[in-house]
Structure 1
Amino acid sequence: MHIQDAKQRFFWLTISIVLNSAFNALTVATNMGSAVWTASAVNLSHWVTHSTDPAIASQALGIVLTVYGVIVALLDMLLIGRFDLSRLVRNILFVIPFSYLVQFIVPFWSNVIGIKYLHGDFSHPWQLLLLMTINMIGLFGVGAAVSLYQRANLIMHPNDDLSYIIRFRYLKGLATASQMLSYIPPITIMIICFVANQHQLWAVNFGTVWAFLTQGWVQGWSDKHFIPSLKHHFKTRA
């Protein structure tokens, strides 16, 4: 790897971790539906804390996202057919800052920026419309950030590495199909949480369906149009 290429990839990796954390936190703050993996983790947080209070559950979100990520990283090892310690370590190096950044940024969006004040009985239609718009912006940002660090391909969140493995090892580069297949584990977890949490779901709303249908497309679009000078380096992670 050339030094200049390595610097460029590391720079965009750093930017993508911050963007991904911030935009995931934004979708949690709107409560209009998070990306599928994040929504799954939010419901796990409620389950493990035995609480219906989002403020209490959010205190466990960082550790839940971290443990969740480690488990998925081990699943990735199964899919590539070998135990790759270097890849596992790189996945975990991504998980830890990402997980706790999400936990710490949610209160910023909710309390400092004031998104929590848009919640309520939606007596004004613009409240709901604004929340939905903010949520879609957040989900688009998540997809674009994932595209960045998949192309940088230095370290990657295990959830997105799962999609990446399916995409390039099994589906000949098809972004949308690989993204939908990778959603099977978190959707299964959400179903289990729905039963365990007395038929309640959190962070599952319009945005979750929107993310399920569009995230693969957003990543494919971002590959070509968002920092197009950054190309995929999947051969270095075969």
Structure 2
Amino acid sequence: MYYLNGEYFELTLKQKITYFFISLAIISFGNGLSIAAQLGAAPWSASAVNLANVTHLPTMLFLAIEAILAAVINLFMVEKINWRRAIGNVIFGLLFSLFVAEFAILFHPLLAPLSLIPKLIVDLFGICCIGIGVSVIQRANFVLHPLDNLTNVARFKFFRGSAPLGQLSNFIFAVTISLICWALSGKLLSYGIGTIYCFFLQGNNIAWGDKHLFKHLLHIDPTKI
């Protein structure tokens, strides 16, 4: 839904699809940058990297598994199950997993020669991109990555619409997974300044996107859909 010239309008299917691909590109791009920079990825991406390290299976596989599990949890948290949206969210998550893996492979050789400060700038920029992309896809209200949908549901169901608190509650589980992997392998990968920044301030990036990017788009309580 969007607000324009004092009136509320429903997004057309074409508009929803457009925002879907814009968001998918921004979020995947940002995750790929943060993983390739190796100075701290978003917590869920970092958890997938650490699971891959422990099991020696592809990171993309765990990104996909996380998306599917989050989609199942979402079904239990909403008041009314919308199967079209649930299936669409899983498809988004699987596409996201593929795109992030490809972006990370693409960016790694480009970022590897850089010194610490340029890498850090790229890493933080990537994480900001993730938050902005999440803001757009949440408000477009078409399909979401299941983890972002989980954040959105928690935001309205438990935290009175607070994006920072909703995001923080989501990330706690991702960090726990990585800590378990650390205990098993003795290595903690894809954690750093970027992860700390993402953990505490990604909700603020989402809130910034709400106010400054596609400002006419409005949030709808996902628990009522």
Relative to the length of structure 1, the TM-score reads: 0.85
Letter in 1 for 2:77: L
Letter in 2 for 1:136: L
- Corresponding position: 1:95 with 2:83: no
- Which structure 1 residue ranges, 4+ long, deviate > 6 Å from structure 2? none
Aligned to 1:157: 145
8 Å Cα contact 1:24-1:38 kept in structure 2: yes
Measure how far apart 1:195 and its partner are.
0.9
Measure how far apart 1:18 and its partner are.
1.1
Of residues 7, 26, 41, the one that matches 2:33 is: 26
CA deviations over 1:145-173 (Å, ceiling 9, x no partner): 01010111111111111110011122211
- Corresponding position: 1:15 with 2:22: yes
SS in 2 for 1:117: coil
Aligned to 1:123: none
8 Å Cα contact 2:78-2:222 kept in structure 1: no
- Corresponding position: 1:107 with 2:83: no
**Structure 1 residues 87 and 12: CA distance shift in structure 2, 3 A:** closer
SS in 2 for 1:93: helix
Measure how far apart 1:91 and its partner are.
1.4
Aligned to 1:54: none
Once residues 152 and 171 of structure 2 are traced to their aligned partners in structure 1, the CA distance between those partners, rounded to angstroms, is 12
**Structure 1 residues 228 and 115: CA distance shift in structure 2, 3 A:** same
Of residues 68, 71, 80, the one that matches 1:70 is: 68
Letter in 1 for 2:119: L
Please list every run of 5 or more consecutive structure 2 residues that lacks an aligned counterpart in the other structure: 2-8
- Corresponding position: 1:45 with 2:52: yes
8 Å Cα contact 1:153-1:234 kept in structure 2: no
User: Which region of structure 1 is more displaced relative to structure 2, 81-90 or 149-158?
Assistant: 81-90
Measure how far apart 1:61 and its partner are.
1.7
**Structure 1 residues 74 and 235: CA distance shift in structure 2, 3 A:** closer
Once residues 107 and 96 of structure 2 are traced to their aligned partners in structure 1, the CA distance between those partners, rounded to angstroms, is 16
Please list every run of 5 or more consecutive structure 1 residues that lacks an aligned counterpart in the other structure: 50-56, 119-126
8 Å Cα contact 1:36-1:186 kept in structure 2: yes
Aligned to 2:6: none
8 Å Cα contact 2:64-2:97 kept in structure 1: yes
Once residues 212 and 68 of structure 1 are traced to their aligned partners in structure 2, the CA distance between those partners, rounded to angstroms, is 18
- Corresponding position: 1:132 with 2:120: yes
Relative to the length of structure 2, the TM-score reads: 0.90
Letter in 1 for 2:188: L
Measure how far apart 1:186 and its partner are.
0.7
1:50-65 → structure 2 map (5 Å cutoff) = 60-65=58-63
How large is the Cα RMSD of the aligned pairs? 1.9
8 Å Cα contact 1:17-1:145 kept in structure 2: yes
CA deviations over 1:76-123 (Å, ceiling 9, x no partner): 122225654333212111011110011111121112xx10112xxxxx
- Corresponding position: 1:227 with 2:214: yes
Once residues 186 and 62 of structure 1 are traced to their aligned partners in structure 2, the CA distance between those partners, rounded to angstroms, is 16
Letter in 1 for 2:55: V
